[in-house]
Structure 1
Protein backbone atom coordinates (compact mmCIF):
# COMPACT_ATOMS: atom_id res chain seq x y z
CA UNK A 1 0.00 0.00 0.00
CA UNK A 2 3.00 2.37 -0.01
CA UNK A 3 2.16 3.47 -3.55
CA UNK A 4 -1.45 4.59 -2.84
CA UNK A 5 -0.35 6.24 0.41
CA UNK A 6 2.38 8.14 -1.41
CA UNK A 7 -0.12 9.33 -4.03
CA UNK A 8 -2.48 10.54 -1.31
CA UNK A 9 0.34 12.41 0.45
CA UNK A 10 1.34 14.07 -2.83
CA UNK A 11 -2.22 15.27 -3.43
CA UNK A 12 -2.55 16.64 0.10
CA UNK A 13 0.77 18.49 -0.12
CA UNK A 14 -0.08 20.01 -3.48
CA UNK A 15 -3.52 21.09 -2.35
CA UNK A 16 -2.12 22.69 0.81
CA UNK A 17 0.62 24.54 -1.08
CA UNK A 18 -1.56 25.90 -3.86
CA UNK A 19 -4.37 26.84 -1.48
CA UNK A 20 -1.90 28.81 0.66
CA UNK A 21 0.01 30.64 -2.09
CA UNK A 22 -2.72 31.69 -4.51
CA UNK A 23 -4.97 33.69 -2.18
CA UNK A 24 -1.85 35.58 -1.05
CA UNK A 25 -1.01 36.43 -4.64
CA UNK A 26 -4.50 37.85 -5.13
CA UNK A 27 -4.70 39.74 -1.84
CA UNK A 28 -5.90 43.31 -2.03
CA UNK A 29 -7.81 42.77 -5.29
CA UNK A 30 -11.54 42.30 -4.95
CA UNK A 31 -11.79 40.89 -8.46
CA UNK A 32 -8.82 38.57 -7.97
CA UNK A 33 -8.44 34.89 -7.34
CA UNK A 34 -11.18 33.20 -5.36
CA UNK A 35 -10.35 29.75 -4.02
CA UNK A 36 -12.99 27.03 -4.50
CA UNK A 37 -15.06 26.01 -1.51
CA UNK A 38 -16.95 22.94 -0.36
CA UNK A 39 -20.10 24.64 -1.68
CA UNK A 40 -19.11 23.40 -5.15
CA UNK A 41 -20.20 19.93 -4.10
CA UNK A 42 -23.69 21.19 -3.22
CA UNK A 43 -24.89 23.01 -6.35
CA UNK A 44 -28.25 24.71 -6.63
CA UNK A 45 -31.18 22.52 -7.68
CA UNK A 46 -32.21 22.47 -11.33
CA UNK A 47 -35.39 20.41 -11.19
CA UNK A 48 -37.90 19.60 -8.42
CA UNK A 49 -36.35 22.04 -5.93
CA UNK A 50 -37.46 21.51 -2.35
CA UNK A 51 -38.72 17.96 -2.94
CA UNK A 52 -37.18 14.57 -2.12
CA UNK A 53 -36.56 14.17 -5.88
CA UNK A 54 -34.46 17.32 -6.22
CA UNK A 55 -32.01 17.16 -9.12
CA UNK A 56 -28.86 19.28 -9.32
CA UNK A 57 -25.87 19.29 -11.65
CA UNK A 58 -24.14 16.39 -9.89
CA UNK A 59 -27.23 14.21 -10.17
CA UNK A 60 -27.48 15.02 -13.87
CA UNK A 61 -23.83 14.02 -14.34
CA UNK A 62 -24.54 10.75 -12.53
CA UNK A 63 -27.54 10.03 -14.75
CA UNK A 64 -25.58 10.86 -17.89
CA UNK A 65 -22.65 8.67 -16.79
CA UNK A 66 -24.98 5.78 -15.99
CA UNK A 67 -26.57 5.97 -19.44
CA UNK A 68 -23.13 6.03 -21.09
CA UNK A 69 -21.87 3.08 -19.02
CA UNK A 70 -24.93 0.94 -19.67
CA UNK A 71 -24.93 1.83 -23.37
CA UNK A 72 -21.28 0.82 -23.79
CA UNK A 73 -21.84 -2.62 -22.29
CA UNK A 74 -25.14 -3.20 -24.06
CA UNK A 75 -23.52 -2.41 -27.41
CA UNK A 76 -20.57 -4.60 -26.52
CA UNK A 77 -22.85 -7.52 -25.61
CA UNK A 78 -24.99 -7.21 -28.73
CA UNK A 79 -22.00 -6.98 -31.05
CA UNK A 80 -19.98 -9.75 -29.39
CA UNK A 81 -18.24 -12.00 -31.89
CA UNK A 82 -16.07 -15.09 -31.71
CA UNK A 83 -13.24 -13.06 -33.22
CA UNK A 84 -13.46 -9.79 -31.29
CA UNK A 85 -12.78 -6.37 -32.74
CA UNK A 86 -10.99 -3.54 -30.94
CA UNK A 87 -14.05 -2.35 -29.03
CA UNK A 88 -14.88 -5.85 -27.82
CA UNK A 89 -11.22 -6.46 -26.98
CA UNK A 90 -11.11 -3.41 -24.71
CA UNK A 91 -14.28 -4.47 -22.91
CA UNK A 92 -13.07 -8.03 -22.47
CA UNK A 93 -9.73 -6.83 -21.15
CA UNK A 94 -11.55 -4.78 -18.50
CA UNK A 95 -13.85 -7.65 -17.57
CA UNK A 96 -10.96 -10.11 -17.42
CA UNK A 97 -8.98 -7.71 -15.25
CA UNK A 98 -11.71 -7.69 -12.61
CA UNK A 99 -12.41 -11.42 -12.87
CA UNK A 100 -8.81 -12.65 -12.89
CA UNK A 101 -6.73 -10.00 -11.13
CA UNK A 102 -9.23 -9.14 -8.41
CA UNK A 103 -11.94 -11.77 -7.96
CA UNK A 104 -9.98 -14.97 -8.63
CA UNK A 105 -6.79 -13.62 -7.09
CA UNK A 106 -8.50 -12.78 -3.79
CA UNK A 107 -11.48 -15.13 -3.59
CA UNK A 108 -10.13 -18.22 -5.33
CA UNK A 109 -12.84 -20.85 -5.78
CA UNK A 110 -15.45 -18.47 -4.34
CA UNK A 111 -14.81 -15.88 -7.05
CA UNK A 112 -17.50 -16.84 -9.56
CA UNK A 113 -20.49 -15.92 -7.39
CA UNK A 114 -19.12 -12.45 -6.64
CA UNK A 115 -17.76 -11.49 -10.08
CA UNK A 116 -20.97 -9.62 -11.14
CA UNK A 117 -20.89 -7.53 -7.95
CA UNK A 118 -17.19 -6.70 -8.21
CA UNK A 119 -17.39 -5.93 -11.93
CA UNK A 120 -20.33 -3.57 -11.43
CA UNK A 121 -18.56 -1.79 -8.58
CA UNK A 122 -15.29 -1.41 -10.47
CA UNK A 123 -16.71 0.05 -13.66
CA UNK A 124 -19.26 2.21 -11.85
CA UNK A 125 -16.59 3.83 -9.69
CA UNK A 126 -14.20 4.18 -12.64
CA UNK A 127 -16.77 5.97 -14.78
CA UNK A 128 -18.11 8.13 -11.95
CA UNK A 129 -14.54 9.10 -11.00
CA UNK A 130 -13.41 9.94 -14.51
CA UNK A 131 -16.13 12.57 -14.97
CA UNK A 132 -13.93 14.83 -12.85
CA UNK A 133 -11.62 15.44 -15.83
CA UNK A 134 -14.18 15.45 -18.66
CA UNK A 135 -14.89 18.95 -20.02
CA UNK A 136 -18.37 20.35 -19.25
CA UNK A 137 -18.86 17.69 -16.55
CA UNK A 138 -15.82 18.61 -14.45
CA UNK A 139 -16.73 16.84 -11.24
CA UNK A 140 -16.33 13.30 -9.99
CA UNK A 141 -19.77 12.33 -8.78
CA UNK A 142 -18.18 10.09 -6.15
CA UNK A 143 -16.92 13.29 -4.50
CA UNK A 144 -20.33 13.55 -2.85
CA UNK A 145 -20.56 11.01 -0.02
CA UNK A 146 -23.99 9.60 -0.93
CA UNK A 147 -22.87 7.34 -3.77
CA UNK A 148 -19.79 5.93 -1.97
CA UNK A 149 -22.04 5.15 1.01
CA UNK A 150 -24.49 3.27 -1.21
CA UNK A 151 -21.67 1.22 -2.77
CA UNK A 152 -20.08 0.54 0.63
CA UNK A 153 -23.43 -0.56 2.08
CA UNK A 154 -23.92 -2.89 -0.89
CA UNK A 155 -20.59 -4.55 -0.09
CA UNK A 156 -21.40 -4.53 3.64
CA UNK A 157 -24.78 -6.26 3.25
CA UNK A 158 -23.30 -8.74 0.76
CA UNK A 159 -20.44 -9.90 2.97
CA UNK A 160 -22.71 -10.18 6.00
CA UNK A 161 -25.22 -12.17 3.95
CA UNK A 162 -22.48 -14.40 2.49
CA UNK A 163 -21.00 -15.13 5.91
CA UNK A 164 -24.34 -15.83 7.59
CA UNK A 165 -25.48 -17.99 4.66
CA UNK A 166 -22.40 -20.18 4.95
CA UNK A 167 -21.90 -20.39 8.71
CA UNK A 168 -25.20 -19.28 10.24
CA UNK A 169 -25.46 -16.28 12.54
CA UNK A 170 -23.61 -17.86 15.45
CA UNK A 171 -20.95 -19.44 13.29
CA UNK A 172 -20.30 -16.22 11.39
CA UNK A 173 -20.00 -14.18 14.57
CA UNK A 174 -17.64 -16.74 16.06
CA UNK A 175 -15.55 -16.90 12.91
CA UNK A 176 -15.38 -13.09 12.61
CA UNK A 177 -15.09 -11.95 16.21
CA UNK A 178 -13.03 -14.73 17.79
CA UNK A 179 -9.86 -15.31 15.74
CA UNK A 180 -8.60 -18.84 16.33
CA UNK A 181 -5.33 -19.56 18.09
CA UNK A 182 -5.44 -16.74 20.66
CA UNK A 183 -5.36 -17.27 24.44
CA UNK A 184 -8.88 -16.92 25.87
CA UNK A 185 -8.09 -13.83 27.98
CA UNK A 186 -7.07 -11.85 24.86
CA UNK A 187 -10.60 -12.05 23.44
CA UNK A 188 -11.62 -9.40 25.96
CA UNK A 189 -9.47 -6.98 23.96
CA UNK A 190 -9.59 -8.48 20.48
CA UNK A 191 -13.33 -9.17 20.11
CA UNK A 192 -14.53 -5.54 20.54
CA UNK A 193 -11.91 -4.40 18.03
CA UNK A 194 -12.96 -7.07 15.55
CA UNK A 195 -16.63 -6.11 16.04
CA UNK A 196 -15.87 -2.47 15.24
CA UNK A 197 -13.86 -3.53 12.22
CA UNK A 198 -16.51 -5.88 10.81
CA UNK A 199 -19.59 -3.77 11.48
CA UNK A 200 -18.28 -0.19 11.24
CA UNK A 201 -14.74 0.41 10.02
CA UNK A 202 -14.89 -1.65 6.81
CA UNK A 203 -17.88 0.11 5.18
CA UNK A 204 -16.93 3.50 6.64
CA UNK A 205 -13.36 3.45 5.34
CA UNK A 206 -14.49 2.25 1.91
CA UNK A 207 -16.79 5.25 1.52
CA UNK A 208 -14.55 7.86 3.15
CA UNK A 209 -11.38 6.89 1.26
CA UNK A 210 -13.10 7.19 -2.11
CA UNK A 211 -14.87 10.47 -1.29
CA UNK A 212 -11.81 12.16 0.22
CA UNK A 213 -9.63 11.36 -2.79
CA UNK A 214 -12.18 12.66 -5.27
CA UNK A 215 -12.80 15.85 -3.28
CA UNK A 216 -9.09 16.64 -3.02
CA UNK A 217 -8.56 15.95 -6.72
CA UNK A 218 -11.38 18.27 -7.74
CA UNK A 219 -10.13 21.07 -5.50
CA UNK A 220 -6.57 20.80 -6.84
CA UNK A 221 -7.78 21.04 -10.45
CA UNK A 222 -10.06 23.98 -9.72
CA UNK A 223 -7.26 25.77 -7.88
CA UNK A 224 -4.79 25.28 -10.74
CA UNK A 225 -7.10 26.38 -13.55
CA UNK A 226 -8.62 29.24 -11.54
CA UNK A 227 -5.08 30.42 -10.86
CA UNK A 228 -4.32 30.24 -14.58
CA UNK A 229 -7.28 32.48 -15.35
CA UNK A 230 -6.32 34.93 -12.60
CA UNK A 231 -2.65 35.20 -13.56
CA UNK A 232 -3.40 35.48 -17.29
CA UNK A 233 -6.31 37.92 -17.30
CA UNK A 234 -6.25 39.79 -14.00
CA UNK A 235 -2.70 39.82 -12.62
CA UNK A 236 -0.29 42.47 -13.80
CA UNK A 237 3.27 42.56 -14.98
CA UNK A 238 5.52 39.58 -14.48
CA UNK A 239 2.80 37.65 -12.65
CA UNK A 240 1.21 36.86 -16.02
CA UNK A 241 4.09 34.47 -16.69
CA UNK A 242 2.96 32.45 -13.67
CA UNK A 243 -0.07 31.39 -15.73
CA UNK A 244 2.23 29.03 -17.64
CA UNK A 245 3.27 27.39 -14.39
CA UNK A 246 -0.29 27.02 -13.09
CA UNK A 247 -1.51 25.77 -16.48
CA UNK A 248 1.27 23.19 -16.61
CA UNK A 249 0.41 22.10 -13.07
CA UNK A 250 -3.27 21.83 -14.06
CA UNK A 251 -2.46 19.60 -17.03
CA UNK A 252 -0.14 17.45 -14.91
CA UNK A 253 -2.74 17.05 -12.18
CA UNK A 254 -5.39 16.22 -14.79
CA UNK A 255 -3.28 13.27 -15.92
CA UNK A 256 -2.63 12.42 -12.29
CA UNK A 257 -6.37 12.53 -11.58
CA UNK A 258 -7.02 10.00 -14.35
CA UNK A 259 -4.54 7.67 -12.62
CA UNK A 260 -6.19 8.26 -9.25
CA UNK A 261 -9.66 7.64 -10.72
CA UNK A 262 -8.57 4.19 -11.91
CA UNK A 263 -6.56 3.50 -8.75
CA UNK A 264 -9.48 4.28 -6.44
CA UNK A 265 -11.80 2.02 -8.46
CA UNK A 266 -9.21 -0.74 -8.14
CA UNK A 267 -8.64 -0.22 -4.40
CA UNK A 268 -12.37 -0.11 -3.59
CA UNK A 269 -12.99 -3.30 -5.57
CA UNK A 270 -9.92 -5.05 -4.18
CA UNK A 271 -10.90 -4.30 -0.59
CA UNK A 272 -14.48 -5.39 -1.31
CA UNK A 273 -13.16 -8.73 -2.56
CA UNK A 274 -10.94 -9.05 0.52
CA UNK A 275 -13.89 -8.41 2.87
CA UNK A 276 -16.01 -10.95 1.01
CA UNK A 277 -13.20 -13.47 1.29
CA UNK A 278 -12.94 -12.87 5.03
CA UNK A 279 -16.67 -13.53 5.35
CA UNK A 280 -16.66 -16.91 3.60
CA UNK A 281 -13.29 -18.34 4.61
CA UNK A 282 -13.05 -20.66 7.60
CA UNK A 283 -10.06 -18.84 9.10
CA UNK A 284 -8.70 -15.37 8.47
Structure 2
Protein backbone atom coordinates (compact mmCIF):
# COMPACT_ATOMS: atom_id res chain seq x y z
CA UNK A 1 0.00 0.00 0.00
CA UNK A 2 1.41 3.35 -1.03
CA UNK A 3 1.66 6.02 1.66
CA UNK A 4 1.72 9.76 1.04
CA UNK A 5 5.04 11.62 1.28
CA UNK A 6 3.67 13.52 4.30
CA UNK A 7 3.13 10.28 6.20
CA UNK A 8 6.53 8.90 5.24
CA UNK A 9 8.23 12.18 6.16
CA UNK A 10 7.58 11.56 9.83
CA UNK A 11 9.55 8.30 9.67
CA UNK A 12 11.98 8.53 6.76
CA UNK A 13 14.04 11.43 5.37
CA UNK A 14 13.57 12.27 1.66
CA UNK A 15 15.85 10.36 -0.68
CA UNK A 16 16.18 9.13 -4.25
CA UNK A 17 12.74 7.52 -4.00
CA UNK A 18 11.28 11.05 -3.85
CA UNK A 19 12.15 11.38 -7.55
CA UNK A 20 10.38 8.17 -8.60
CA UNK A 21 6.82 8.22 -9.87
CA UNK A 22 4.46 5.49 -11.03
CA UNK A 23 2.61 5.39 -14.33
CA UNK A 24 -0.30 7.76 -14.87
CA UNK A 25 -1.89 5.19 -17.16
CA UNK A 26 -4.09 2.74 -15.21
CA UNK A 27 -3.13 -0.91 -15.45
CA UNK A 28 0.60 -0.39 -16.07
CA UNK A 29 1.64 -0.60 -12.41
CA UNK A 30 3.94 -3.54 -11.85
CA UNK A 31 4.65 -4.04 -15.57
CA UNK A 32 7.72 -3.19 -17.63
CA UNK A 33 5.85 -0.11 -18.88
CA UNK A 34 5.27 1.26 -15.38
CA UNK A 35 7.53 4.26 -16.03
CA UNK A 36 6.42 4.82 -19.63
CA UNK A 37 4.21 7.81 -18.81
CA UNK A 38 4.78 9.30 -15.39
CA UNK A 39 4.24 12.69 -13.81
CA UNK A 40 7.68 13.76 -15.04
CA UNK A 41 6.86 12.71 -18.61
CA UNK A 42 3.62 14.67 -18.45
CA UNK A 43 5.46 17.80 -17.33
CA UNK A 44 7.88 17.52 -20.26
CA UNK A 45 4.99 17.26 -22.73
CA UNK A 46 3.31 20.24 -21.06
CA UNK A 47 6.52 22.23 -21.52
CA UNK A 48 6.58 21.30 -25.21
CA UNK A 49 2.92 22.31 -25.61
CA UNK A 50 3.43 25.65 -23.84
CA UNK A 51 6.51 26.37 -25.93
CA UNK A 52 4.69 25.67 -29.21
CA UNK A 53 1.55 27.59 -28.25
CA UNK A 54 3.58 30.57 -27.01
CA UNK A 55 5.56 31.11 -30.21
CA UNK A 56 2.96 29.98 -32.75
CA UNK A 57 0.28 32.24 -31.28
CA UNK A 58 2.75 35.13 -31.00
CA UNK A 59 3.95 34.97 -34.61
CA UNK A 60 0.88 33.65 -36.39
CA UNK A 61 -0.41 37.20 -36.99
CA UNK A 62 2.43 39.58 -36.08
CA UNK A 63 1.42 43.20 -35.64
CA UNK A 64 3.34 46.44 -35.88
CA UNK A 65 2.17 47.28 -32.37
CA UNK A 66 2.76 43.92 -30.69
CA UNK A 67 0.27 42.22 -28.43
CA UNK A 68 1.40 41.11 -24.98
CA UNK A 69 2.09 37.60 -26.23
CA UNK A 70 4.01 38.84 -29.26
CA UNK A 71 5.96 41.28 -27.12
CA UNK A 72 6.89 38.51 -24.67
CA UNK A 73 8.01 36.13 -27.43
CA UNK A 74 9.98 38.85 -29.22
CA UNK A 75 11.63 39.93 -25.97
CA UNK A 76 12.81 36.41 -25.16
CA UNK A 77 14.01 35.84 -28.72
CA UNK A 78 15.76 39.22 -28.82
CA UNK A 79 17.46 38.55 -25.50
CA UNK A 80 18.89 35.24 -26.68
CA UNK A 81 19.74 36.48 -30.19
CA UNK A 82 21.49 39.68 -29.14
CA UNK A 83 22.67 38.78 -25.63
CA UNK A 84 23.91 35.26 -26.33
CA UNK A 85 23.97 34.24 -30.00
CA UNK A 86 25.49 37.39 -31.55
CA UNK A 87 27.49 38.33 -28.47
CA UNK A 88 29.20 34.93 -28.16
CA UNK A 89 29.22 33.52 -31.70
CA UNK A 90 29.49 36.79 -33.59
CA UNK A 91 27.76 37.85 -36.83
CA UNK A 92 26.97 34.21 -37.64
CA UNK A 93 25.16 33.84 -34.34
CA UNK A 94 21.79 35.02 -35.68
CA UNK A 95 21.26 31.78 -37.59
CA UNK A 96 21.58 29.81 -34.35
CA UNK A 97 19.23 32.09 -32.42
CA UNK A 98 16.07 29.98 -33.06
CA UNK A 99 17.75 26.85 -31.69
CA UNK A 100 19.25 28.66 -28.70
CA UNK A 101 15.96 30.38 -27.90
CA UNK A 102 14.05 27.10 -28.07
CA UNK A 103 16.64 25.45 -25.84
CA UNK A 104 16.54 28.29 -23.32
CA UNK A 105 12.75 28.43 -23.04
CA UNK A 106 12.37 24.65 -22.94
CA UNK A 107 14.90 24.26 -20.12
CA UNK A 108 13.39 27.23 -18.28
CA UNK A 109 9.88 25.75 -18.45
CA UNK A 110 11.07 22.35 -17.27
CA UNK A 111 13.02 23.94 -14.43
CA UNK A 112 10.04 26.05 -13.42
CA UNK A 113 7.96 22.95 -12.66
CA UNK A 114 10.23 22.45 -9.66
CA UNK A 115 8.55 25.34 -7.79
CA UNK A 116 5.13 25.23 -9.45
CA UNK A 117 2.35 24.16 -7.02
CA UNK A 118 1.22 20.54 -7.39
CA UNK A 119 4.00 19.81 -9.89
CA UNK A 120 6.97 20.53 -7.61
CA UNK A 121 9.48 18.46 -9.56
CA UNK A 122 11.72 19.50 -12.44
CA UNK A 123 12.14 16.89 -15.19
CA UNK A 124 15.75 18.04 -15.32
CA UNK A 125 16.25 16.55 -11.86
CA UNK A 126 16.23 13.23 -13.73
CA UNK A 127 19.61 12.82 -15.43
CA UNK A 128 18.10 11.36 -18.63
CA UNK A 129 16.61 14.69 -19.73
CA UNK A 130 19.77 16.81 -19.33
CA UNK A 131 21.73 14.08 -21.13
CA UNK A 132 19.41 14.25 -24.15
CA UNK A 133 19.61 18.06 -24.22
CA UNK A 134 23.41 17.91 -23.99
CA UNK A 135 23.52 15.36 -26.83
CA UNK A 136 21.48 17.71 -29.04
CA UNK A 137 24.09 20.41 -28.43
CA UNK A 138 26.94 17.94 -28.93
CA UNK A 139 25.65 16.71 -32.29
CA UNK A 140 24.92 20.27 -33.43
CA UNK A 141 28.34 21.78 -32.72
CA UNK A 142 30.15 18.76 -34.16
CA UNK A 143 28.00 18.87 -37.31
CA UNK A 144 28.46 22.62 -37.71
CA UNK A 145 32.24 22.32 -37.30
CA UNK A 146 32.55 19.43 -39.76
CA UNK A 147 30.36 21.20 -42.33
CA UNK A 148 32.35 24.43 -42.13
CA UNK A 149 35.89 23.04 -41.93
CA UNK A 150 35.72 19.45 -43.09
CA UNK A 151 36.38 16.42 -40.88
CA UNK A 152 40.18 16.61 -40.86
CA UNK A 153 40.50 20.35 -40.28
CA UNK A 154 37.79 20.34 -37.62
CA UNK A 155 39.46 17.54 -35.67
CA UNK A 156 42.84 19.26 -35.98
CA UNK A 157 41.46 22.63 -34.83
CA UNK A 158 39.63 20.94 -31.94
CA UNK A 159 42.50 18.95 -30.46
CA UNK A 160 45.67 20.69 -31.66
CA UNK A 161 46.68 23.59 -29.40
CA UNK A 162 48.22 26.19 -31.70
CA UNK A 163 51.20 28.02 -30.25
CA UNK A 164 52.14 25.25 -27.84
CA UNK A 165 55.57 23.62 -28.25
CA UNK A 166 55.60 20.48 -30.35
CA UNK A 167 56.93 18.32 -27.53
CA UNK A 168 53.91 19.27 -25.35
CA UNK A 169 51.32 18.29 -27.99
CA UNK A 170 51.35 14.54 -27.12
CA UNK A 171 50.16 15.57 -23.66
CA UNK A 172 47.71 18.27 -24.75
CA UNK A 173 46.05 16.41 -27.64
CA UNK A 174 44.51 13.60 -25.50
CA UNK A 175 43.31 16.19 -22.99
CA UNK A 176 41.69 18.30 -25.70
CA UNK A 177 40.17 15.20 -27.31
CA UNK A 178 38.71 14.13 -23.97
CA UNK A 179 37.32 17.61 -23.46
CA UNK A 180 35.64 17.85 -26.87
CA UNK A 181 34.33 14.28 -27.04
CA UNK A 182 33.24 13.66 -23.45
CA UNK A 183 33.77 16.53 -21.06
CA UNK A 184 31.68 19.17 -22.83
CA UNK A 185 28.41 17.18 -23.08
CA UNK A 186 28.99 15.56 -19.67
CA UNK A 187 29.47 18.86 -17.84
CA UNK A 188 26.46 20.37 -19.61
CA UNK A 189 24.22 17.52 -18.46
CA UNK A 190 25.65 17.09 -14.97
CA UNK A 191 25.57 20.81 -14.12
CA UNK A 192 21.89 21.13 -15.01
CA UNK A 193 20.94 17.83 -13.37
CA UNK A 194 22.87 18.44 -10.16
CA UNK A 195 21.37 21.89 -9.58
CA UNK A 196 17.80 20.77 -10.19
CA UNK A 197 18.27 17.59 -8.13
CA UNK A 198 19.79 19.49 -5.21
CA UNK A 199 17.13 22.20 -5.36
CA UNK A 200 14.30 19.67 -5.22
CA UNK A 201 15.97 17.80 -2.36
CA UNK A 202 16.44 20.98 -0.31
CA UNK A 203 12.79 21.97 -0.75
CA UNK A 204 11.74 18.47 0.29
CA UNK A 205 13.90 18.61 3.40
CA UNK A 206 12.38 21.85 4.66
CA UNK A 207 8.80 21.13 3.56
CA UNK A 208 8.54 17.53 4.74
CA UNK A 209 10.76 18.31 7.73
CA UNK A 210 8.17 20.86 8.79
CA UNK A 211 5.46 18.24 8.46
CA UNK A 212 7.43 15.80 10.61
CA UNK A 213 7.99 18.46 13.26
CA UNK A 214 4.32 19.46 13.23
CA UNK A 215 3.23 15.88 13.77
CA UNK A 216 5.40 15.67 16.89
CA UNK A 217 3.72 15.75 20.28
CA UNK A 218 6.27 18.31 21.50
CA UNK A 219 4.85 21.86 21.39
CA UNK A 220 8.32 23.33 20.90
CA UNK A 221 8.88 21.23 17.79
CA UNK A 222 5.53 22.35 16.41
CA UNK A 223 6.75 25.94 16.67
CA UNK A 224 10.01 25.01 14.94
CA UNK A 225 7.91 23.56 12.09
CA UNK A 226 6.91 27.08 11.08
CA UNK A 227 10.58 28.01 10.83
CA UNK A 228 11.17 25.02 8.58
CA UNK A 229 8.28 26.03 6.31
CA UNK A 230 9.56 29.60 6.29
CA UNK A 231 12.93 28.34 5.06
CA UNK A 232 11.09 26.36 2.38
CA UNK A 233 9.59 29.63 1.11
CA UNK A 234 12.98 31.36 1.17
CA UNK A 235 14.61 28.47 -0.67
CA UNK A 236 11.80 28.47 -3.24
CA UNK A 237 12.62 32.09 -4.07
CA UNK A 238 16.31 31.18 -4.26
CA UNK A 239 15.44 28.21 -6.48
CA UNK A 240 13.61 30.58 -8.84
CA UNK A 241 16.87 32.44 -9.35
CA UNK A 242 18.82 29.19 -9.80
CA UNK A 243 16.44 27.72 -12.37
CA UNK A 244 16.64 30.86 -14.53
CA UNK A 245 20.42 30.94 -14.16
CA UNK A 246 20.83 27.29 -15.15
CA UNK A 247 18.75 27.73 -18.30
CA UNK A 248 20.91 30.75 -19.18
CA UNK A 249 24.20 28.96 -18.44
CA UNK A 250 23.23 25.92 -20.52
CA UNK A 251 22.33 28.15 -23.46
CA UNK A 252 25.44 30.29 -23.00
CA UNK A 253 27.76 27.25 -23.02
CA UNK A 254 25.97 25.86 -26.07
CA UNK A 255 26.69 29.15 -27.87
CA UNK A 256 30.31 28.98 -26.73
CA UNK A 257 30.74 25.50 -28.19
CA UNK A 258 29.08 26.60 -31.44
CA UNK A 259 31.46 29.55 -31.58
CA UNK A 260 34.42 27.18 -31.35
CA UNK A 261 33.01 25.23 -34.31
CA UNK A 262 32.53 28.21 -36.61
CA UNK A 263 35.66 30.08 -35.57
CA UNK A 264 38.87 29.66 -37.48
CA UNK A 265 40.85 30.02 -34.26
CA UNK A 266 41.28 27.43 -31.52
Same fold (TM over 0.5): yes
Q: Distance in 2 between matches of 1:91 and 1:228?
A: 39
Within the candidate set 152, 163, 168, 1:170 is matched to: 152
Gaps of 5+ in 1: 1-29
Alpha-carbon contact 2:148-2:262 (below 8 Å) kept: yes
Contact 1:33/1:227 (CA < 8 Å) preserved in 2? no
Q: Which range moved further: 267-276 or 178-187?
A: 178-187
| Mapped partners of 1:31, 1:128: distance in 2 | 26
Give 4+ residue runs of structure 1 displaced > 4 Å after superposition: none
Q: What is the CA-CA distance between 1:74 and the residue it aligns to?
A: 1.9
Normalising by structure 1, what TM-score? 0.85
Matched with 2:3 is: none
Measured in 1, the distance between the counterparts of 2:190 and 2:89 equals 24
Are the counterparts in 1 of residues 21 and 35 from structure 2 also a CA contact under 8 Å? no
Select the residue among 57, 73, 79 that pairs with 1:75.
57
1:264: which partner in 2?
A: 246
**Match of residue 4 from structure 2:** none
> What are the superposed Cα offsets for residues 208-256 of structure 1, whole Å, 9 maximum, x if unpaired?
1000100000001111111222222334121111122111100011111
Instruction: After TM superposition, give the deviation of residue 52 of structure 1 in Å.
Output: 9.2
- SS of the aligned residue for 2:24 comes to strand
Alpha-carbon distance in structure 1 between the residues aligned to 2:21 and 2:162: 50
Rounded Cα–Cα distance in structure 1 between residues aligned with 2:220 and 2:34:
51
Partner of 1:43: 21
1:179–1:283 contact (8 Å) kept in structure 2: no
Partner Cα distance (2:11, 2:85) in 1? 47
Task: State the partner residue of 1:225.
Answer: 207
Contact 1:177 1:191 in 2 (8 A): yes
Write the distance in 2 (CA, Å) between the matches of 1:87 and 1:173.
43
Q: Aligned to 1:133, what secondary structure does the other structure show?
A: coil
Aligned partner of 1:98 in structure 2 is 80
- Contact 1:140–1:214 at 8 Å: present in 2 too? yes
2:44–2:110 CA contact under 8 A, matched in 1: yes
Partner Cα distance (1:114, 1:235) in 2: 59
Deviation at residue 182 of structure 1 after TM alignment: 1.1
Alignment partners' CA distance in 2, 1:37 and 1:274? 35
> How many corresponding residue pairs?
255
